[in-house]
Amino acid sequence: MKQKKQSFVNYRLKSAELITVDMVRVAVENDHPIDRNCWSMINSKGECPLKDVTVNDQIVLLRLPKPFKFEEDSYIVYKGLTCYIEPTEVVRTKEFEQLFFYDGDDLGVCYNENQTSLAVWAPTATRMNVICYKTWHDEKGDTYPCRRDEKGVWRIELVGNYEGVWYLFEVYVNQTWRRVVDPYAKFLGVNGEKAMIGDPKRTEPEVWPVLRPQESANDCIIYELHIRDYTISLDNGINHKGKYLGLTEQGTVDNDMRVTGMDYLSYLGITHVELLPVQDYGSVDESNRETDYNWGYDTTHFFVPEGSYATDPYDGYCRNLEFKQLVAALHDRQIRVIMDVVFNHLYIWEESALDMLVPGYFFRYTTDNKISDGTGVGNDFASERKMARKIIIDAISYWVEEYHIDGFRFDLMGILDIETMKQVKEAAKKKNKDILLFGEGWDLPTAYPREKRAIIDQAKSLVGIGFFQDKFRDGLKGSTFEVTQPGFVSGSKQGLNEIISGMQGSMNKFDMPIQAINYVESHDNHTLWDKLKLVHPIERQFTLQKRHKLATAIVLMSQGVPFIHAGQEWFRTKHGVENSYNSPDWINVYNWKQRAHFDSSVQYIRTLIQMRRMHAGFRLESYEMIRNHFKVIKAESKCIAYHLRGLEKVDEWNDILVIHNAGLKEEIIFLPKDKKWQVFVDGDIASLIPLYKIGEDCARVSALSTFICVSL
């Protein structure tokens, strides 16, 4: 009697974790040696003694005679004490993937007028309900138990017409009930608090305009904008400010009757608009949208558009319909739409539906079982796990099919794994052969082998997927992080080789030029204007503008794919704010007054855009062609000149000479003598018809400018 009482007091089972499909690790708190012969496991089938017991200090490893039964709660029993077995590390094992990988296409809701089927993947859950709410404010709802089907998928069929009914899953896992939003939800209410059963047909635009085929694979000029920034100013003539619909309005003008909004995108002549995140994100309160601002790099729902850009975020259909209207409106202008997608992490991982449904599965862990944080924002999505990979591929396929999206920019793509990106490409190409895929291939310290990640150094394993050319960028404007460091346009020769390589489409890094995403400014870091102000704090504005235009001209005239940040064409400033992800509108706004004030710069950039689109010599399709036709004729610290020659087969301009002079003095370049040259770009002027003929044997290139002449 006395002894029994002692064991009860002195022994405590702190935890019992399932670490592989047949191994439980128990942590014991005790003062006495642990007895190997008193262990067993209990579940609904009864008690089963455990003989294979390893004791190491206060850790006990118990091998199970049969694989663990995930479908029910099981307990370890030791000398009258019991402890629930929590599946932890097991979810990250190969055996778990083999047991539970589900490749069906019916996760989420399958709706028709007579019946709605729901399916959710949660193999470690032991019970699951769906709760249906007839109205948004119904707090209790009606609870229906789901049945466990193969591969850890829970299902239910609801007979009748459930259109417009709100729902949550209620999952019982690790002895706790939690209510979660369906990770495959396609319709959401305000702030994504509940999902809705809906009919996708109700969100179709009147027509889906037909896009003309692209002239060539890299006939792309990407223009990056944020829905709110671009439409929010008071003087842009746009009615739906800060909304998807703001980008569907035609005929909008500023106070000087200059076109704005969607018409301006057509006017500028870009081919692709890249939208900062429009997947539903968590950092803006959709019920109070006037005060919050965020770029939105904090995805909460992979398959649904963000609600704060909808006219009515409470209406389950509104955001879907209005975002489709935006895509359709841009397609009507033959402008393609790229989504900036954030799969590398989730907003608050502990509160994410995915982690509540399958704790520990969807995120990466370090070898000592801490959550990996290579992204620097608290968690890294474990894209290499099969169901995590599947949700990425399913989401991409869905956006292409349902929303007619033309391309994706993968935020921190270097966190994702190569195999996932390959499968994304395969799935997306099946639905749209012209799909444009690219991303940030930064090498970040995430808990996954470097050689298996979609970083820029592995680009050869990712044929057809583009990478932002950060070295080209920094070569042109100076280090992004050492903010006062100068680049080529400030007279530095430090990055000369990177710049020449960049102008040739970075051919040593990739298999095709479309993989080289050339840029000098994006939403991240200082705008080019703010950076140049830091490098040249006392320089005259006039000179800074020349440097700025030179940098943009180099990007636009280089081989590969040019990428422009909205407002770069008129020296956009964010008033020195380096990371404006949650800055107020007055920092982030697309300022149409400045656009008007710097109209001559806009004209210059617009003409270069048109010139690039009219002349295939600036966007050769293969590295073989670049090798054959691109000849560097001068590469000095302050001047780079190259000759695009023998272009008869691809361009009516057979011979093009491009000279970028980053010096403060005129540069003289001697021309091949046997030809007559006509000038199209000189100083501050760019033209699609010749400005003048060169009467001598040399080109005189004015300071801080691009010069383009053509032998016809």
Pairing of strands 75-78, 39-43: antiparallel
Q: Which is nearer to Ca ion, 138 or 193 (CB)?
A: 193
For tokens 């291939």, name the residue.
Answer: 441
Residue 522 token pair: 């994006």
CB 547 within 8 A of CB 490: yes
Binding mask 272-291 for Ca ion (x = CB under 5 A): --------x-----------
Residue 106 token pair: 């019916």
249 binds Ca ion (CB under 5 A): no
Residues 6 or more apart whose Cβ sits within 8 Å of residue 587: 574, 575, 577, 580
Shortest distance, position 170 Cβ to Ca ion, whole Å: 22
Closest CA to 312 of 189, 154, 400: 189
Q: Which is nearer to Ca ion, 280 or 394 (CB)?
A: 280
Shortest distance, position 110 Cβ to Ca ion, whole Å: 24
Which position among 86, 274, 355, 411 bears the catalytic label? 411
Residue 54 token pair: 């390893």
Shortest distance, position 308 Cβ to Ca ion, whole Å: 6
- 446-482 as b/e, with b when 16 or more CB fall inside 10 Å? bbbeeeebbbbebbebbebbbbbbbbbbbbbbbbbee
Shortest distance, position 342 Cβ to Ca ion, whole Å: 12
440 as an active site residue: the answer is yes
Q: What DSSP element (H or E) covers 119?
A: strand 115-121
Beta bridge partners of 705: 661
Q: Which residue is nearest to Ca ion (CB)?
A: 280
CB 390 within 8 A of CB 398: no
Beta bridge partners of 43: 46
Residue 221 token pair: 């000029």
Residue 294 token pair: 């965020």
355 as an active site residue: the answer is no
CB 391 within 8 A of CB 383: no
Neighbours of 698 (CB within 10 A): 12
Shortest distance, position 322 Cβ to Ca ion, whole Å: 14
Q: At residue 70, what are phi and psi to the nearest 5 degrees?
A: -70, -20
Q: Which is nearer to Ca ion, 289 or 700 (CB)?
A: 289
Count of residues of this chain found to bind Ca ion when the rule CB under 5 A is applied? 3
Which position among 170, 249, 298, 440 bears the catalytic label? 440
Q: Which is nearer to Ca ion, 143 or 287 (CB)?
A: 287
Give the three-class secondary structure for 321.
helix
Q: Which is nearer to Ca ion, 280 or 322 (CB)?
A: 280
* Amino acid present at 147: R
Binding mask 424-463 for Ca ion (x = CB under 5 A): ----------------------------------------
Q: What is the dihedral angle through the alpha carbons of 599, 602, 604, 607, rounded to the nearest 10 degrees?
A: -120
For tokens 């808990």, name the residue.
Answer: 447
Shortest distance, position 474 Cβ to Ca ion, whole Å: 34
Q: Which is nearer to Ca ion, 242 or 502 (CB)?
A: 242
Shortest distance, position 276 Cβ to Ca ion, whole Å: 14
Q: Which is nearer to Ca ion, 306 or 569 (CB)?
A: 306
Q: Which is nearer to Ca ion, 307 or 359 (CB)?
A: 307
Shortest distance, position 199 Cβ to Ca ion, whole Å: 22
Neighbours of 38 (CB within 10 A): 15
Q: What is the dihedral angle through the alpha carbons of 693, 698, 702, 703, rounded to the nearest 10 degrees?
A: 160
Q: What DSSP element (H or E) covers 56?
A: strand 52-56
Give the C-alpha separation, 225 to 342, whole Å: 16
Neighbours of 426 (CB within 10 A): 10
Closest CA to 124 of 104, 100, 102: 100
Shortest distance, position 232 Cβ to Ca ion, whole Å: 18
Q: Which is nearer to Ca ion, 308 or 515 (CB)?
A: 308
Give the C-alpha separation, 412 to 400, whole Å: 21
Q: Which is nearer to Ca ion, 182 or 249 (CB)?
A: 182
Shortest distance, position 298 Cβ to Ca ion, whole Å: 9
CB 156 within 8 A of CB 143: no
User: Which positions from 302 through 321 interact with Ca ion, judged by CB under 5 A?
Assistant: 306-307
Residues 6 or more apart whose Cβ sits within 8 Å of residue 222: 270, 271, 272, 273, 274, 338, 517, 561, 562, 563, 564
Segment near Ca ion (CB under 5 A), from 92-100, 127-135, 218-226, 301-309? Answer: 301-309
CB 308 within 8 A of CB 244: no
Q: Which is nearer to Ca ion, 306 or 474 (CB)?
A: 306
Shortest distance, position 324 Cβ to Ca ion, whole Å: 17
Residues making contact with Ca ion (CB under 5 A): 280, 306-307
Q: Write out the catalytic residue numbers.
A: 411, 440
